[in-house]
Chain A
Amino acid sequence: MSDENPNTGSAGAYWKENIRLLITLMVIWFVVSFGAGILFRDFLDQFMIGGFPLGFWFAQQGSIYVFIALIFYYTAKMKAIERKYDLDD
């Protein structure tokens, strides 16, 4: 995902900051769906929230709520980063 010849100036710094944010958010994306909903489901299912085994809840409800939050967080954060580098549209 990296650049072979890094940009210089504000566009380059902007892009680096964007990539860092993307990696963080994509890790969360992976952890709530593939992690909590699939790989660690059996472990999480021993905990209950209400009538849901936790792993099952992540797989059929929770991951979707986190997905929405991730997109809106990214949208807001990117607006701020773009303003900082004066690259907003």
Chain B
Amino acid sequence: MSTQALIYLFVGISFALYIGIAIWTRAGSTKEFYVAGGGVNPIVNGMATAADWMSAASFISMAGLIAFMGYDGSVYLMGWTGGYVMLALLLAPYLRKFGQFTVPDFIGTRYYSKLARTVAVICLIFISFTYIAGQMRGVGIVFSRFLDVDVTLGVIIGMAIVFVYAVLGGMKGITYTQVAQYCVLIFAYLVPAIFISLLITGNPIPQLGLGSEVNDGSGMYVLQKLDESLQMMGFGAYTDGSKSMIDVFCITAALMIGTAGLPHVIVRFFTVPKASDARKSAGWALIFIALLYTTAPAVAAFARINFNETVNNTAYTEAPAWFTNWERNKLIAWVDKNDDGVMQVAKGDAFAGAPEFTGETGPLGQQLLSNEVVADNANEVYVDKDIMVLANPEIANLPGWVIALVAAGGLAAALSTAAGLLLVISTAVSHDLLKSTFKPDISEKSELLAARAAATAAIFVAGWLGIYPPGWVAQVVAFAFGLAAASLFPAIFMGIFSKRMNREGAIAGMIVGLVFTFGYIFYFKLVADPAFNVADNWLFGISPEGIGVVGMILNFIVAIVVAKMTAPPPVEIDHLVESIRVPRGAGEAHAH
């Protein structure tokens, strides 16, 4: 069977599986729609959380980013895992004990204020839409790269699949589909990783291979060899970064705290039966996430070594097969600056922007480009970082079914995250805005209908953002984490750990954190000239990606000062906080 046919087969089987699960587990009540009935086994929930959490970016892009960032890539590895410690220790068990359906529910009730709830809803919708646009785009890209369909058609197919299982199944359907999606995506990630580890080091375990000697008889360690070859090519050492320490510190912190404040992650812990299960479930989620996150840096280093060895100083006519395969998809391109027929890799851009092929081929068969060549460096090769994961099966000479598996895995990663985000958006609209704010007497049946209608509307908006991505989508992913860290996290944290925190303090804190972080990112990413977005102009040398930490500190300071100057919360809130703090009695809490 041809690779293309295998890809259709694998993707088709995985889609049929997701839809089958959705029909089998469809939601019949709002409780099932919002929190899967609140009875999900903690290990199952951990697996669903891992799929929910690991997006197209984790699956397709992260290893490539690390391959080109070296040590600096650690910000993603620590930042996107360390947040689970905060979730398990500081937030999840208490929010589960509180026992309602959403994050705005908690903030609105704890701060006895519809305004606080509305501010939380605004933060939530903004964070979630920023995130989901990227997922839909990811679906479209996987379709276009592996299945030769247009990005637009790819997004529409993705929308249709998510529509079936998110609208029909709600949280209950999503949970069990995410479990299946986790299995698909982790298998698809590990198989090529194991083989490429064997190829480079002879060790089948990538995490150990990264610390082993290279298989070429040189007796050098992987990282040592990578440092040496990169320095010879004029790059910095792989194990050294180029970001300043304060920036690495702040980006890591913003990603960690942002993770702990992301509504679609938090809400997953509302689905387990007990408060203690929320802790356990966060631990399992991190184990399932760590399987991919400790493999990614190994894949990154192996792929970079392989890239340096097989591409740099190789004649184009001798280029590996994957090079020419992915050249057709514009993920890689070569411009022969010095007319020697040999590909030179060096620091700097080979040409301006993404490749634009003229449609003609050069004397050696390479695609010719209409881009303006950057003449002040010797680099001749353009690489899209995604290739480090996508081309792995070919680099390791794996059979066609592994390539098909990677396609299904990338789709699973994008769809599972999109579904989780759609659910929190629709819940925010039907539960927090409609039921809790505008129409408290709405019947259960109408609320469920409203939730499904909101999910449908959200799918169309997300699809539209995926088909016509506004330029800012790629620019503002930092928004989601920075805003979550600066707005929702402090409000939830103080709601649990400080009885004295009141309505005025929490609202003032959230608004200050939100406005400051939003303003800083907006200014540097969208208003200022890109040349101005450099460390010298940043506050304390902190990049927009890391500024959420400063926003969070401002939030805490403002909230504490304002709370000191205003009346303490009423006595019922005192009792509420006391009851959240002890685990006993969470079972009944869903019955409000």
Contacts and interface: CB of A to CB of B under 8 A. Distances in A.
Given A59-B74, A75-B88, A64 B211 contact: no
A4 B568 CA distance: 11
A78 to B, nearest CB: 7
Given A4-B499, A89-B585, A52 B249 contact: no
Given A71-B88, A78-B279, A60 B297 contact: yes
Interface residues of A, number: 46
B290 A64 contact: yes
Nearest to A49: B211
Interface in A18-63: 18, 22, 25-26, 29, 33-34, 37-39, 41, 45, 49-53, 56-57, 59-61, 63
A7 B581 CA distance: 11
B326 interface: no
B74 A60 contact: yes
B317 interface: no
A56 B298 CA distance: 12
B294 A61 contact: yes
Interface in B63-80: 66, 71, 73-74, 77-78
Contacts of A71: 84-85, 88-89, 279, 282-283, 286
Given A11-B578, A22-B89, A63 B275 contact: no
A34 B294 contact: no
Given A5-B499, A68-B287, A68-B290, A26 B582 contact: no
B293 interface: yes
A53 B253 CA distance: 23
B341 to A, nearest CB: 36
Interface in B521-559: none
A75 B287 CA distance: 14
A41 B243 CA distance: 14
A33 B100 CA distance: 33
Interface residues of B, number: 56
- Chain B interface main SS type: helix
Contacts of A38: 74, 245, 248-249, 252
B361 interface: no
B212 A50 contact: yes
Q: Which of B89, B253, B499, B584 has the most CB of A within 10 A?
A: B89
A61 B210 contact: yes
Contacts of B82: 29, 33, 63, 67
B451 interface: no
A82 B84 CA distance: 22
Contact of A33 (B224, B252, B584): B252
A34 B271 CA distance: 32
B323 to A, nearest CB: 27
Interface in B210-266: 210-213, 221-224, 239, 245, 248-249, 252-253, 256
Given A57-B211, A67-B85, A68-B283, A50 B221 contact: yes
A52 B210 contact: yes
Nearest to A28: B85
A18 B97 CA distance: 16
B224 A64 contact: no
A75 B280 CA distance: 6
Contacts of B290: 64-65, 67-68
Contacts of A60: 66, 71, 73-74, 77, 210, 294, 297
B210 A37 contact: no
B211 A14 contact: no
A68 B280 CA distance: 11
Given A11-B581, A38-B74, 10 more contacts: A3-B498, A4-B499, A25-B89, A50-B211, A51-B210, A64-B293, A65-B290, A70-B89, A72-B283, A88-B584
12 contacts: A4-B500, A18-B581, A29-B82, A34-B252, A37-B74, A51-B213, A51-B221, A51-B224, A64-B77, A64-B286, A74-B89, A89-B587
